[in-house]
């Protein structure tokens, strides 16, 4: 499935390095935990309160056509809050696919799960498929999620996507194309998420590394 690089500006590279260290069990820099609008209190909300906030959020219903399937394997976590973050991270990826199929880089459902930087990245990805749609099947697997800082209002989410059975299709000619020759169909996504007041975990930044899985 044809792709473009999701890597954002140079600041994202620095952020990614910090995220990678966190995801791999490296030390945390507490100063990096402060984000605008985040809960800076020392105690995290109880699971029941958090679940209630999440259930009150008006999440969009994202549907993918029968011609394209996105399968998610192992997207579970014993921590209820991290499970919500996993679910919202998954929906952000599904929203990206739906926006490509709908040909809408400004799709409201993509914006719902994306903060400013991630929305810019996602919109650029969708624009790269102008005149195309996507068909076939992709598999998202091996998710690794962890809190970033003690406030538990930010998290890192790394996962892999196998696009070997996914294809782009020209809307005019019907011609299909898979992953370009010499490029791995397995891509690692490196994302960061921030918890919103309504309990939704928005994706803040996105990077990809073809062959990183």
End-to-end alpha carbon distance in the chain: 16
Handedness of CA 185, 186, 189, 190 (dihedral sign): negative
What tokens appear for 165 in the block? Answer: 């059975």
pLDDT in tens, 155-202: 999 999 999 999 999 999 999 999 999 999 999 999 999 999 999 999
Cβ-contact 101, 134 below 8 angstroms: yes
DSSP 44: P
pTM of the predicted protein model? 0.78
Read out DSSP for 120-167? HHHHHHHHTTTTEEEEEEEEEEEEEEEESSTT-SEEEEEEEEEEEEEE
Question: Is the pLDDT reported for residue 28 higher than 60?
Answer: no
Given this model, what pLDDT does residue 85 score?
A: 98
Strands 186-195 vs 176-177: parallel, antiparallel or unpaired: unpaired
Given this model, what pLDDT does residue 36 score?
A: 29
The Cα 142–Cα 188 span in angstroms is: 10
> In which band, very low, low, confident or very high, does the pLDDT at 56 lie, cut at 50, 70 and 90?
low
Question: Is the pLDDT reported for residue 121 higher than 50?
Answer: yes
Nearest to 155 by CA among 167, 166, 168, 143: 143
Bridge partners (DSSP) of residue 70 are: 138
């Amino acid at each position: 499935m044809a792709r473009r690089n999701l890597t954002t500006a140079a600041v994202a590279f620095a952020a990614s390095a910090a995220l990678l260290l966190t995801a791999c069990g490296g030390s945390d820099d507490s100063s990096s935990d402060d984000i605008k609008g985040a809960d800076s209190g020392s105690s995290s909300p109880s699971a029941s309160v958090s679940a209630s906030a999440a259930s009150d959020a008006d999440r969009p219903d994202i549907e993918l056509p029968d011609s394209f399937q996105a399968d998610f394997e192992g997207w579970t976590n014993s921590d209820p809050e991290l499970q919500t973050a996993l679910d919202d991270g998954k929906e952000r990826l599904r929203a990206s696919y739906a926006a490509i199929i709908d040909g809408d880089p400004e799709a409201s459902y993509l914006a719902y799960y994306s903060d400013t930087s991630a929305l810019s990245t996602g919109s650029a990805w969708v624009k790269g498929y102008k005149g195309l749609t996507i068909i076939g099947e992709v598999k998202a697997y091996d998710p690794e999620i962890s809190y970033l800082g003690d406030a538990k209002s930010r998290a890192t989410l790394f996962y892999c996507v196998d696009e070997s059975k996914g294809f782009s299709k020209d809307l005019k000619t019907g011609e299909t194309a898979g992953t370009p020759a010499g490029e791995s169909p397995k891509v690692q996504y490196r994302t960061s998420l921030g918890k919103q007041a309504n309990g939704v975990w928005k994706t803040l930044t996105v990077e990809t590394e073809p062959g990183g899985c």
